[in-house]
Structures are given as structure tokens and as C-alpha cells.
């Protein structure tokens, strides 16, 4: 570690530059200075890869009640209904704001009206109406573009790329008396190789999900669960981590890393098939290939095990080639680059870890259980998704909660800043001599989670996983304090903690519900509907009724 440590002070510290962090930063910038900390290039985020779009009620054939009903149905009894209603109802207004910032959603011509245009609404699993606003199949990229342009135009916001938040700074950790609160974060500046103390009168976690904890995922490398692990270490309530969503259709190709085939392909008529054997989803759900995600992912897993095949097929060849190429240009081109012409041949697909439904527990204003700390987006558990997220509801949740949190913060007196914070202590740390420890442990965590804590779980497999992850945690902890901090080490430690939180939560839920399927408890337990799994560091794990106000 070279150079001096240093300190940067802002009114608002935002960790993460996906849809949640950027849209919140734009709002709070009305009241003060904002630092946006982000691990890599500012656009690199799960948001940037979102394909399907944003679910919101914008058509006369749709209604808030229907969107709420579909969300509750997918959530398998565990959603917090008032939160669902609030987010669904406030969606259209937030979408209008996004459009005002320059976001362009795909439109289509209204039949029989040569001059008339309307939004081209997509459909995905579990939605009973067409309600997904999208920009062809690159919705997330276009959202990031629009938000980052607005950020660049805002003199109150400074973006710090290649900066890795290491840990939250709390008054308790500083040994200060009074109520424990978050006052900032220690952040590794990767290029300068130094740890900077960032302070904020309010800190926002918008660090996204943890797909990288699994061997196969649709998520980019940034998704290592850092926010969850930091919040856990700081003492926040972490809820419902057992509910990991596996997307049914990730491209299966030896050279393709994490490429999603959007559910919108099935929304436009794509059919899942066993290679050489035809359709199979009719055996599992009346909605067939467009059944909710948990059902489809489990069905594919089961058919792959039954037939011994390493993948299933997604067939959209019956649609006109021009339609497919125009509606899904990114998917068409990417598959073509791997030698698959999706207008003429089936796409080989497999399920992969996609979305974390649990996370840092917040209310619908983004407040966590720790004063001074807000959280928004995939890092949170607001109660919207319950036991299984309805497709395209996450971008919506991030937009609405970013606004609600900002509104709440702007209407409350800001606490005085804490500026007198000691520098990050490197202690006895020296440069690592064996980087293989990091790569080996990284691989072992991801394989253990895939093999033992995947789509179908058993108590025995979960216990095996717990033993292995606990050993790894001990080893990583020792390594962490001995060697100089690096981005790989930060992520490895966080991945191991998140793996442990998922396993503990999964062991506690002795039933099958939504995304959590344990073959030893194959049915839902009616007594556990509306019961969250809550973990807080240093206290015995507990399950408790939904208490998000």
C-alpha cells in the first residue's frame, strides 16, 4: 500500500452507480454535495445488463390492482402488501421522470393510426398483462446512459471510479458514546493503492446483488454482495437471504460468460424444449414456458437431471426473422457471434443465479436498522419481492425507493458531519506472497454454493455447505488481517460472508416457498407465510413476522 491515507467529506455518500445509486444521487444533490463511489467504470453494474425492462402500469388494459396481484402471486405469500402497493402505484410517475432525463423506451405504431405511437409493452413470466417498458433488449444500458448524462451535468455530484468501499464507519466502532450511527466508509482507491476515508452526513448503500457467489450467474463481476456483507458487519438486520432467484435462460456456450437470454424472448412466444424431444413445460405449469421463474428454473433443472442433458433449448425460430432481429438485436448479435443464428436454430440455455430477493432490511423509504444508513435497490429487502421476484420489478423498486428515500432525507434535518475519523489502520499487514489462496477460495465458495445451495436443496447439503464455508471464513479472516488490503481480498471476504448468510437463512426456513426449495420439506408451511428470516450479527438467528412499516 503506497501513499498517504486521506479523507474526503461530503453531505451525501452514495456507494454504487447502478440505477439505485445514480437516481438517488440526482435527487439528494438538490440539498448538498454528493460523492458516488463505484468499483469499476461508472456504468458497470447489474443495471447495465438489464434486458427485459421495467414493469409499470401505463396501459389502459392494465391496472395497479393487477400488477399488485401478479407481484403477490409470484412472491408466494411473503410479500409485504402495503410496500407492493406503494411501489406499483408510484412507478408511472418515476418512469415519467426517467423519460424527462432522456430515457427512450421502445415504441410501436398504433394499429390503424398511421401517425399514432404508443409504448411497445413487453411481457414476461408471471405477468398477466403486457406492462414492461423496454429499450429493445438493452434497457439497462440506456438507463445508465441517461442517468450518467444527468449526473455529469450536475455540479454537486462527484463520481469516484475504481473505488472499493471496504467497510462502513460507525460511531460504535470509533468508540463514541450515544446512539450508534453510520458516518461514512473506508474506501480503497485501487489506482492510487491507498485507503481513503469518505464521510457523509447520510450514507447510502446501492451496491447491488451477489450473483458471483454462485459458479454460474447472469451477473457481472461487480456483484459480490459487498453491501450486504458491510451492512452485516456494521450490525444491520439482514432478511430473507435464502431466496436467490435463478434465471431459467442463461446462454449455454463454452465461450459465453454470463450472457442472459431475456425472459422477453419467451414473452414473445419462445418455447422451452428438451433437445430432440420437444416441449416439456406443460407438465409443470398451465402458463408453460411463461410460468413464474422459480417454477421454470426448477422444471429445467429436473429435466436436465432426468435426461442427462447439460442444457435445454429455447426456440423462437417460428417467429419472423425480421421481428426477432429488430426486437432482440443484442441477443441476436451476441448469439450470432457464438455461431448461433437464433432465427434459424434453437438457443441452448441453462439456469443461472440471477437476483437476490433478500438483503439489508429496509422500509419503503430505504431506512435500514442503523441510523445514518439508507439502502436501495438489489442490496435491500423491502418486502416487494417476497419469496420470488416478479420479472422486471427490480428496476422499478430501485427507482421508486430512490425517490422515496431522497424525499424522506430532504424533509428531515441532516445530522452534523463527523469529520474527526482516524485513518484506516494497516496494522501488521504486508504484501501477500501467495495469491493462489484468493483464487482457490473464490472458486471453492462458488462451487460449494452451486452444488449444495442451488435450485434444489436438502438439509444435508446445506449442512455440508455450512461446514465448508465456515472453514473458508476462518482461513480468509486470518489472511485478511495478515495481508495488505486489495480489491480481490475485499470481494473474497464479502462473498464468504454472503454465502454464510444464504446458508444460515436456508437452514432456518424449514419449508419450501418460492425460490427456496428444500426436498426434505417439499411443501409450504402455512405458519411461515408472512414470516421473514432475519439475521443480525452477534445475535441468535430468528424468524419473525413481517414488520416493515
State yes or no: residue 503 binds ligand FAD (CB under 6 A): no
State yes or no: residue 263 binds ligand SIN (CB under 6 A): yes
Closest CA to 185 of 171, 173, 167, 210: 167
State yes or no: residue 378 binds ligand FAD (CB under 6 A): yes
State yes or no: residue 71 binds ligand SIN (CB under 6 A): no
Give exposure, 419-439, as e/b (b: 16+ Cβ within 10 Å): eebeebeeeeeeebeeeebbe
Residues 150-189 touching ligand FAD, rule: CB under 6 A, are: 163-165
293 assigned to active site: yes
How would DSSP label each residue in 135-181? STT-HHHHHHHHHHHHHHT-TTEEEETTEEEEEEEETTTTT--SS--
Applying CB under 6 A, the span of 13-21, 176-184, 307-315, 362-370 interacting with ligand FAD comes to: 13-21
Tell me whether residue 105 is exposed, middle or buried, using C-beta atoms within 10 angstroms of its C-beta: 0 to 12, 13 to 18, 19 or more.
buried
Please count the residues of this chain forming the interface with ligand SIN, following the rule CB under 6 A: 9
C-alpha to C-alpha distance for 134 and 330, rounded to whole angstroms: 13
**C-alpha distances in Å from residue 124, one per residue of 133, 268, 301:** 11, 9, 20
Q: Is 381 helix (H, G, I), strand (E, B) or coil?
A: strand
Out of ligand FAD, ligand SIN, none, which partner does residue 75 contact, by CB within 5 to 8 A per kind?
none
State yes or no: residue 366 binds ligand FAD (CB under 6 A): no
Which backbone phi and psi does 325 adopt, to 5 degrees?
Answer: -70, -35
State yes or no: residue 25 binds ligand FAD (CB under 6 A): no
State yes or no: residue 16 binds ligand FAD (CB under 6 A): yes
Nearer of residues 164 and 246 to ligand SIN, judged by Cβ: 246
Out of ligand FAD, ligand SIN, none, which partner does residue 165 contact, by CB within 5 to 8 A per kind?
ligand FAD
Cβ neighbours of residue 205 closer than 8 Å, sequence gap 6 or more = 15, 16, 227, 230, 231, 360, 368, 373, 374, 375, 376, 379
Please count the residues of this chain forming the interface with ligand FAD, following the rule CB under 6 A: 44
Among 185, 262, 289, 363, binds ligand SIN (CB under 6 A): 262
C-alpha to C-alpha distance for 327 and 106, rounded to whole angstroms: 9
State yes or no: residue 391 binds ligand SIN (CB under 6 A): yes
State yes or no: residue 170 binds ligand SIN (CB under 6 A): no
Cβ neighbours of residue 103 closer than 8 Å, sequence gap 6 or more = 135, 142, 143, 146
Among 222, 296, 384, 495, binds ligand FAD (CB under 6 A): 222
Cβ neighbours of residue 73 closer than 8 Å, sequence gap 6 or more = 126, 292
C-alpha to C-alpha distance for 389 and 292, rounded to whole angstroms: 9
Out of ligand SIN, ligand FAD, none, which partner does residue 139 contact, by CB within 5 to 8 A per kind?
ligand FAD
State yes or no: residue 392 binds ligand SIN (CB under 6 A): yes
Out of ligand SIN, ligand FAD, none, which partner does residue 382 contact, by CB within 5 to 8 A per kind?
none
Q: Specify the length of the chain in residues.
A: 549
Applying CB under 6 A, the span of 297-305, 333-341, 388-396, 540-548 interacting with ligand SIN comes to: 388-396
From the list 85, 181, 266, 293, the catalytic residue is 293
C-alpha to C-alpha distance for 164 and 487, rounded to whole angstroms: 7
State yes or no: residue 486 binds ligand FAD (CB under 6 A): no
How would DSSP label each residue in 478-510? HHHHHB---HHHHHHHHHHHHHHHHHHHHHH--
State yes or no: residue 47 binds ligand SIN (CB under 6 A): no
State yes or no: residue 501 binds ligand FAD (CB under 6 A): no
Nearer of residues 52 and 200 to ligand SIN, judged by Cβ: 52
What letter would DSSP give residue 119?
E
State yes or no: residue 52 binds ligand SIN (CB under 6 A): yes
Applying CB under 6 A, the span of 72-80, 259-267, 360-368, 464-472 interacting with ligand SIN comes to: 259-267
Decide if 28 contacts 409 (C-beta within 8 A).
Answer: yes
In angstroms, the first-to-last Cα distance of the chain is 44
User: E strands, 27-171, where?
Assistant: 34-37, 54-55, 107-109, 117-119, 132-133, 157-160, 163-170
State yes or no: residue 52 binds ligand FAD (CB under 6 A): yes
State yes or no: residue 357 binds ligand SIN (CB under 6 A): no
Helix/strand/coil percent split, the chain, to 5: 35, 20, 45
Which backbone phi and psi does 408 adopt, to 5 degrees?
Answer: -65, -45
State yes or no: residue 235 binds ligand SIN (CB under 6 A): no
Among 23, 33, 38, 51, binds ligand SIN (CB under 6 A): 51
State yes or no: residue 533 binds ligand SIN (CB under 6 A): no
State yes or no: residue 264 binds ligand SIN (CB under 6 A): yes
State yes or no: residue 217 binds ligand SIN (CB under 6 A): no
Least separation in angstroms between CB 155 and ligand FAD: 21
Least separation in angstroms between CB 487 and ligand SIN: 27
Nearer of residues 446 and 461 to ligand FAD, judged by Cβ: 446
Q: Is 34 helix (H, G, I), strand (E, B) or coil?
A: strand
Least separation in angstroms between CB 140 and ligand SIN: 9
Decide if 293 contacts 300 (C-beta within 8 A).
Answer: no
Interface with ligand SIN (CB under 6 A)? 51-52, 262-264, 355, 391-392, 394
Q: Write out the catalytic residue numbers.
A: 293
Interface with ligand FAD (CB under 6 A)? 15-21, 37-40, 44-47, 49-54, 139-140, 163-165, 206-208, 218-219, 222, 226-227, 260, 355, 377-379, 392-395, 398
Amino acid at each position: 500500500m503506497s501513499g498517504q491515507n486521506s479523507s474526503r467529506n461530503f453531505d451525501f455518500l452514495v456507494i454504487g452507480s447502478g440505477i439505485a445509486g445514480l437516481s438517488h444521487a440526482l435527487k439528494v444533490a438538490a440539498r448538498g454535495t454528493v460523492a458516488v463511489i463505484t468499483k469499476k467504470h461508472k456504468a458497470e453494474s447489474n443495471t447495465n445488463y438489464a434486458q427485459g425492462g421495467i414493469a409499470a402500469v401505463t396501459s389502459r388494459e392494465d391496472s395497479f390492482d393487477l400488477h399488485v396481484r401478479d407481484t403477490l402471486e409470484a412472491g408466494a405469500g411473503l410479500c409485504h402488501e402495503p410496500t407492493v402497493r406503494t411501489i406499483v402505484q408510484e412507478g408511472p410517475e418515476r418512469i415519467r421522470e426517467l423519460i424527462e432525463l432522456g430515457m427512450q423506451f421502445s415504441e410501436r405504431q398504433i394499429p390503424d393510426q398511421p401517425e399514432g405511437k404508443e409504448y411497445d409493452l413487453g411481457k414476461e413470466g408471471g405477468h398477466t398483462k403486457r406492462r414492461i417498458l423496454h429499450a429493445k433488449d438493452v434497457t439497462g444500458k440506456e438507463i445508465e446512459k441517461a442517468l450518467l448524462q444527468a449526473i455529469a451535468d450536475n455540479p454537486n455530484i462527484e463520481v469516484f471510479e475504481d473505488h472499493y468501499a471496504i467497510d462502513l464507519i460507525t460511531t460504535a466502532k470509533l468508540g463514541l458514546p450515544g446512539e450508534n450511527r453510520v458516518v461514512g466508509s473506508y474506501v480503497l482507491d485501487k489506482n492510487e493503492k491507498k485507503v481513503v476515508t469518505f464521510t457523509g452526513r447520510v450514507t447510502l448503500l446501492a451496491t447491488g446483488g451477489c450473483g458471483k457467489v454462485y459458479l454460474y450467474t447472469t451477473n457481472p463481476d461487480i456483484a459480490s454482495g459487498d453491501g450486504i456483507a458491510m451492512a452485516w458487519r456494521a450490525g444491520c438486520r439482514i432478511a430473507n437471504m435464502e431466496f436467490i432467484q435463478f434465471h431459467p435462460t442463461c446462454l449455454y456456450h463454452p465461450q459465453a460468460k454470463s450472457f442472459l437470454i431475456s425472459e422477453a424472448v419467451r414473452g414473445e412466444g419462445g418455447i422451452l424444449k428438451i433437445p430432440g424431444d420437444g416441449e416439456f413445460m406443460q407438465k409443470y405449469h398451465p402458463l408453460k414456458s411463461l410460468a413464474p421463474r422459480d417454477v421454470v428454473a426448477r422444471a429445467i433443472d429436473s429435466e436436465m437431471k432426468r435426461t442427462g442433458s447439460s442444457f435445454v433449448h429455447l426456440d423462437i425460430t417460428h417467429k419472423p426473422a425480421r421481428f426477432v432481429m429488430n426486437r432482440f438485436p443484442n441477443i441476436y448479435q451476441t448469439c450470432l457471434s457464438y455461431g448461433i443464428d437464433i432465427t434459424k436454430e434453437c438457443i441452448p440455455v441453462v439456469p443461472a443465479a440471477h437476483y437476490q430477493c433478500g438483503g439489508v432490511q429496509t422500509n419503503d423509504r430505504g431506512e435500514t436498522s442503523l441510523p445514518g444508513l439508507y439502502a436501495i435497490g438489489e442490496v435491500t429487502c423491502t418486502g416487494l419481492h417476497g419469496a420470488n421476484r416478479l420479472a422486471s420489478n427490480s428496476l422499478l423498486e430501485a427507482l421508486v425507493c430512490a425517490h422515496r428515500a431522497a424525499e424522506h432525507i430532504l424533509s428531515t434535518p441532516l445530522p452534523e458531519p463527523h469529520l474527526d475519523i482516524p485513518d484506516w489502520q494497516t496494522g501488521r499487514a504486508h504484501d501477500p506472497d501467495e495469491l493462489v489462496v484468493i483464487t482457490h477460495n473464490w472458486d471453492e465458495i462458488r462451487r460449494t454454493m452451486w452444488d449444495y445451495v442451488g435450485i434444489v436443496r436438502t438439509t444435508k447439503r446445506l449442512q455440508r455447505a455450512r461446514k465448508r464455508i465456515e472453514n473458508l471464513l476462518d482461513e480468509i479472516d486470518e489472511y485478511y488481517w495478515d495481508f495488505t488490503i486489495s480489491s480481490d481480498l475485499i470481494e473474497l471476504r464479502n462473498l464468504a460472508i454472503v454465502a454464510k448468510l444464504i446458508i444460515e437463512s436456508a437452514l432456518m426456513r424449514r419449508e419450501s416457498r418460492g425460490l427456496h426449495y428444500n426436498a426434505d420439506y417439499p411443501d409450504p408451511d402455512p405458519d411461515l407465510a408472512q414470516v421473514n428470516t432475519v439475521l443480525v450479527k452477534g445475535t441468535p438467528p430468528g424468524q419473525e413476522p413481517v414488520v416493515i412499516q
